[in-house]
């Protein structure tokens, strides 16, 4: 199966959680909006979203085409891909648990996005800077410690912090937690310097994931977009802890 991923071509964003799963699994895929040629590129993605071709249209990217199926919503895409890529245990209860954790990652992603866009995605950061400061103070002081503490607890309960989040093998949840740690280190370095001593399992997991051969090769490649000020994880020093 050759998968087609549709996502904004210049940011990691939500698409990155899907890219990491495809890369770790060595899956054959096209990052459609980042390629050139017929039926590719950003314009092709936008045409597909706006047009009548899709019987089940996505509200927003990312979405994945797998044969005749088109699937949107990041966590839903990973739920679909998990068993196909060997990135989740097979039992229904483990799949639901992994999905539950992924949806909680999504909650964190929304919170991170709203630190710099608390009013409107369609306005510039500079147009909502005052609101962003208040929202970010709440995020760095309350929400981030709560959510990261929760994931740490899950890792400790599953593997004593020396293994993975779900079951005994790597799952897409671990890849997503890697991305969360990497993104928060970029966006909120002072907060992370203070929190990391309380998150030994998460920090160790980030390190282990980064060293996996396929992930390491991906991170070193041009396919891995750098963090930047257009994505979800953005570094505005004034939003970090003081």
Which residue stretch of 29-37, 73-81, 192-200, 201-209 sits at the interface with its own copies (rule: CB under 8 A)?
73-81
Does residue 76 touch its own copies according to CB under 8 A? yes
Residue 85 CA, chain-centre distance (Å), reads 17
DSSP letters, 202-234, are HHHHHHHHHHSHHHHHHHTSTTSPPP-TTSSS-
174 closest CA partner among 205, 143, 217, 218: 205
CB 1 within 8 Å of CB 67: yes
80 closest CA partner among 17, 154, 140: 17
Helix H or strand E encompassing 70:
strand 69-72
Does residue 159 touch its own copies according to CB under 8 A? no
Candidates 56, 197, 220, 226: give the one binding its own copies (CB under 8 A).
Answer: 56
Which residue stretch of 133-141, 174-182, 192-200, 216-224 sits at the interface with its own copies (rule: CB under 8 A)?
133-141
Does residue 104 touch its own copies according to CB under 8 A? yes
Point out which residues bind its own copies (CB under 8 A): 55-59, 69, 71-73, 75-76, 79-80, 93, 96-97, 99-100, 103-104, 107, 110, 114, 118-120, 122-123, 128, 131, 134-135, 138, 142, 147, 150, 153-154, 157
């Amino acid at each position: 199966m050759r998968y087609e991923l549709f996502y904004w071509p210049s940011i990691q964003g939500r698409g990155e959680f899907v890219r990491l799963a495809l890369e770790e699994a060595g899956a054959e895929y096209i990052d459609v909006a980042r390629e050139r040629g017929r039926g590719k590129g950003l314009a092709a993605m936008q045409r597909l979203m706006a047009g009548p071709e899709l019987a089940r249209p996505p509200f927003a990217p990312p979405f994945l085409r797998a044969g005749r199926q088109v699937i949107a919503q990041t966590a839903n895409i990973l739920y679909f891909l998990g068993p196909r890529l060997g990135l989740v245990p097979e039992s229904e209860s483990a799949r639901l648990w992994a999905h539950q954790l992924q949806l909680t990652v999504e909650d964190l992603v929304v919170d991170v996005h709203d630190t710099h866009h608390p009013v409107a995605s369609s306005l510039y950061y500079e147009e909502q800077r005052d609101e962003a400061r208040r929202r970010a103070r709440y995020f760095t002081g309350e929400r981030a410690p709560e959510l990261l503490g929760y994931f740490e607890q899950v890792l400790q309960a599953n593997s004593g912090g020396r293994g993975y989040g779900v079951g005994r093998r790597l799952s897409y949840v671990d890849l997503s937690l890697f991305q969360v740690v990497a993104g928060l280190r970029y966006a909120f370095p002072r907060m992370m310097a203070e929190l990391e001593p309380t998150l030994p399992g998460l920090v160790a997991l980030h390190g282990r994931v980064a060293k996996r051969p396929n992930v390491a090769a991906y991170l070193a490649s041009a396919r891995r977009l750098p963090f930047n000020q257009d994505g979800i994880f953005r570094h505005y020093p004034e939003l970090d802890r003081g």
